[in-house]
Structures are given as C-alpha cells and as structure tokens.
A and B are shown apart, each in its own frame.
Chain A
Amino acid sequence: MWRGLIYSLQEGMLALWRTKLVSLLSIGTIAVSFTVLGIFLLVSVNVGVLTESYGDELVVHLFLEDGLSQDDLAGLQSELESDERISSLGYVGKDEAAERFRRFFPDEEYLLEGLTENPLPESFELTLEEQLISDPAEVNTLVASLSHLPGVEAVRYDRGWVETFETAARWIGYAGFAVGGLLILAAIVTAANIIRINIYARRDEIEIMRLVGADGIYVRGPFVIGGLVQGLLASLLSIVALFLLFNVGEGYLRLMKIGILEGLNFRFLPLEYIILFLGGGLLVGFLAGLLSFGRAGRS
C-alpha cells in the first residue's frame, strides 16, 4: 500500500509537470469556484463584524419636537433617567446632529448648505440595560411607551437594522454556499474531464501498466494524486486571491470614508474557513481524479 502511494505520488507529480498547461487550466477552474464562494463568505463575515460592532449596544434614539424649552428638556431627561431599563442617556443638540450628518454622509453635505435654519432635530440617545438584548418583547414595549412621552416626535430603535443586517449576513452566507456549491460541482466535473483527457493521452502507458501486471493503485494512483494536488493548489490560489481582494476592497472602503464603516476592523476569513478551503480543495481534486477514471481508464 505504501509502495503504491509513494509511486503514485512520484508519478502523479511528474505527470502534472509534463502536462503543465492542462493542469493549470484545471487548477484555475477549481480556484475560480472557491474564490467566488470565498467572496460570499468574506462579505458575510464582515457584515457580521458590522453587526457585532453596533449590535452589542441597544441604542434607542428619541427625536424631539422643535421648540422645547429648557424646563421641558430637563423634565423629559429626569423621567428617562428614572427608568431602570435605561442604563445611560446622552443629549445630541442640533449643531452636533448637523456635524454627525456631515461625517456619516459626506456626499450629501450639500443638503445643509444655504439653509437659514438647521432642520435636524435634537435627540436623546438612550443605551438600554444589557439584559434587555435577550428580551426583544420588553424592548418593544419600552420603545412604544417612549413614543408617547411629551416632547417626543419620533423614536428610532437601532436593533431593527442590526437584526436586518444579521439576517442579511446569514442569507449571504447561505447564498454563498449555494452558488459556491454549484460552481464547485461544476469544477469537479470540469477537472474530471481534464484529467480524463490526460488519461486518454496516456492510454498507451496505462495499457502497458495493466499488461505487465501493475495493480490498480499503480495505474489509477498517479491520476488521483494528480487530482489531489491540483485541488490543493487551487484552494491555496483562491486563498491568496481572496486575501488580495480583501486588502484592495478594505482600502477602497476606507478611502470612501463611509461613516458607518469608520473604526471597524474588517476581518479576513477565519482560520477554520481557511482549513475548510484547503480540505475542500483536496476533496474536490480527489473526487475529480476518481470520477475521471469512470469509463476512460477502465477500457
């Protein structure tokens, strides 16, 4: 068994070298499939970074009616501070609101120019107690009651968009596996056909091996090993490509200065995904090598 494996490894590597161009085609096909899957996973992972960053805090924005007096503000603030469900609150004046608008939406800054009055409302930012993260019903009750307080024009609950993004991240991941899975299946078939072409090109050699009494592992082994190596190289190539894409993409997003993304630490694929990629590449190559021997190698 070991002799057969060593022989298959030696001959498999030699064969790959002799058919460099065709092998590169096979590797490229598999690498593209893994890269597409990887792009979906990267997006999903980093949407997760976004929701983690913003989702750890339960923040409710209370937008106030225009023209409230200092007494009205003080009374409202006192009422909010006495609510045990609210851990802290901060006041955001009109000027600060305008400054935040300019920072988060730099391309829309022109909307504030030329206006005689600042249209942005004052607001209170309420951070809720941590234990409420696991009690959405209680949060919704609180939000509903806040909307009825005097002087409150509108209530915005950030958790809503966080949950939306979390759902989006999950579905992006599912879509990635679905699309990537289909592409990988196609890559297996393509790689198998390319290996089959190799088998056909070496049919004389295979015939000779069979005629001199070589066991199956010596005949098929080099092709299966060749497939394994192609799959591994393809997954390595896709990881490198994804790393480059990640760095370029991160640099581009930073340049765009999108406020919501500022200060975030974008993440490359975690180690367990990279190990999955490498294992997946080996599996794809192995299956391609096995499949290729269907009719081509037996006849």
Chain B
Amino acid sequence: MRLASNNDMVRLYNVYKDYDRKNTALIDISLEIPRGEFVFLTGPSGAGKTTLLKLLFRAEMPTRGSIIVNGRNVVGIPDSKVPAMRRELGIVFQDFKLLRHKTVFENISFIPKIQGVPYWQRRTKTYEVLKQVGIAHKMREQPLSLSGGEQQRVAIARALINDPVLILADEPTGNLDPDLSFEIMSIFETVNRLQGTTVLVATHDRALIEAMGKPVVVLDSGRLVDSRGL
C-alpha cells in the first residue's frame, strides 16, 4: 500500500459502515486517491461502491473511521457547513437527478444563481459547460424530452459548473448503451486531463474499465480487495 500524502484528494482510514448488526456495508476501508487522478471504483452489486461514494459527500456517516476530502475532515464538519463542502464537489448519478420543471439551461444555472453569481457571469459559464459536454444546442429543452445520454451530459455539466476539485460519479453509464458509455467516459477523461479535476467513477462495467486503462479500486462484500495503479 502506498503511503498517504498531503497531495491526496481522498483519504479513508479504517472506515466501517454498518446499517444494523446484520447489515455491514463497508469493513475496514483504508484508501488514498491522489489529486488529479482518474480512478474507477468497482465490484459486484452490493460490494459497497455507492455507500463509499455517499460517505465522501456526507450523505451518510461512517460508523467508525475518518474520511478526509480535499484536506477537510468530512466526518467532523458541522451540518451547517456541509452545503459549502458539497459545492466543491461534482456529483453524477445513474438516474441523472435533473429538475423536471426546469430547462436544461436552468438546471445548470440555478447553482451559481443561489451562490449569488451575477446574471451575465452565470449565463456565460452555464453556456460554456453545456458546450463542453456537447449539449448546448438543447439548452432550452426540458430534461424529459432528452435521451438518456443527453440527460447524463446535462448532469455532468451541472457537476462541472462550480469547477469542482473532485467529481464523484455513481454508475453514470448504468442506463446507457456501450457507445454512449464511452462518450460519457471520454467527457470525464477530458475534464480530468485538461482541468486536473480528480475523478472517481463507480461502475461494474469491466469492458469500460479495461478500455480506459485507469487505476482501479476493487471492493467485494464491503472490503477493499485490490487497488491497481494507485
């Protein structure tokens, strides 16, 4: 196992997560992910991938152990500071989680809006990220009129709007066909390469993992069984 360093984006030390006595999701996970790295998190269904991601953005709390993200102790943050912490991250889900009653543009722009970014600035930035993911031509559409791949591009654009230091993606290609899956992964790969954003993608798609050739963390039954390339 490599030694932890201050240059790590994510550090987990002896993390456990129990939902109840019979249901243990994570067992003694210790892991470091360097800044600027692109890492796959894989394992069979029920291995604990989603649980681990949820711990990183404080949707869940570990039963034991400590978690450091971008130099911040995630477990120790007061509830009132959690929104600010999440604004440094970009989170992408398998089911996209877009706001149905807002247009594509509004789904992105409301985030800088609630942060007080002036109108023209947020308009420009929103257009830039939509172009970056190749969906600017659909910015006036409602999410339900888009295909699965297009909706996922919008979700990625939303994750990028705040120039996040870390992108967490939970099965982002789970609902997409292989060709679209590679397209989505190439967007993540470009962001990682050009902007230096750390990317952690949870997926059980072996073909995708092998094709991308990136470091891989393997979970099985809640345990860390392998971490290749880190």
Contacts and interface: CB of A to CB of B under 8 A. Distances in A.
Given A18-B101, A207-B97, A212 B158 contact: yes
B114 A215 contact: yes
Nearest to B57: A211
- Residue among A3, A214, A216 having the largest count of chain B Cβ atoms under 10 Å: A214
Given A3-B116, A7-B114, A213 B97 contact: no
B119 to A, nearest CB: 12
Nearest to A18: B101
Contacts of A214: 83, 111, 114
A179 B124 CA distance: 57
Given A18-B101, A205-B99, A213 B113 contact: no
Contact of B87 (A7, A208, A213): A213
A213 B101 contact: no
Interface in A7-37: 7, 18
B72 to A, nearest CB: 13
Contacts, number: 42
A218 B114 contact: yes
Interface in A165-213: 204-205, 207-208, 210-213
Interface residues of A, number: 16
Contacts of B80: 216
A3 B91 contact: no
Interface residues of B, number: 22
B64 interface: no
B114 A208 contact: no
Contacts of B99: 205, 208
B131 to A, nearest CB: 20
A216 B78 CA distance: 13
B116 A213 contact: no
Given A18-B101, A204-B97, A205-B99, A211 B114 contact: no
B85 interface: yes
B59 A213 contact: no
Contact of B59 (A204, A208, A211, A216): A211
A212 B87 contact: yes
Contact of A3 (B88, B114, B158, B162): B114
Interface of B: 57, 59, 80, 82-89, 91, 97-99, 101, 111, 113-114, 116, 158, 162
Interface of A: 3-4, 7, 18, 204-205, 207-208, 210-216, 218
16 contacts: A3-B114, A3-B116, A4-B114, A205-B99, A208-B97, A208-B98, A210-B83, A210-B86, A211-B91, A212-B111, A213-B83, A213-B85, A213-B88, A213-B162, A215-B83, A216-B83
Please give me the 6 A-B residue pairs with the lowest Cβ-Cβ distance, nearest first.
Answer: A213-B86, A213-B87, A213-B83, A215-B83, A218-B114, A3-B116
